[in-house]
Amino acid sequence: MDLVESVYHLIQALPSEERFGLADQMRRAAVSIPSNIAEGHARSGDKAFRNFLHIASGSRAELQTQILICERVGLLTRAQTKPALLLTEEVGKLLHAFIVSLSKSC
């Protein structure tokens, strides 16, 4: 949820012409991460949950790439993106650890 909040703040710094392009993709990818975790948790069984965690992990990688694109094409600076990028790394590590722990129980 912290990552989603960070991305929403980051998007506000993007130029208005990106509002329906990259910004929309970033918003959807960010929201998808906790949404898939919640949906997987609501399912019965660790295997289903693990599948949704993998989907969340993919969305995290997609979001990280989009943030880096913003940087590379000059829409945002490293100073602006750094907090969100650090959160994408942290979320990635947490998702990986959770997937591993569920894999051991299956």
pLDDT of residue 50: 96
Tens-place pLDDT, residues 10-62: 999 999 998 889 999 999 999 999 999 999 999 988 999 999 999 999 999 99
Confidence of residue 106 (pLDDT cuts 50, 70, 90): low
Average pLDDT, integer, range 57-68 = 98
Q: How many CB atoms lie within 10 A of CB 81?
A: 20
pTM score: 0.93
pLDDT surpassing 80 at residue 80: yes
- The residue whose two tokens read 């919640």 is 38
* Cβ partners under 8 Å of residue 10, min gap 6: 26, 67, 70, 76, 80, 81, 84
Residue spans per domain, the chain:
2-105
- Fold of the CATH domain 2-105: de novo design (two linked rop proteins) (1.20.1440)
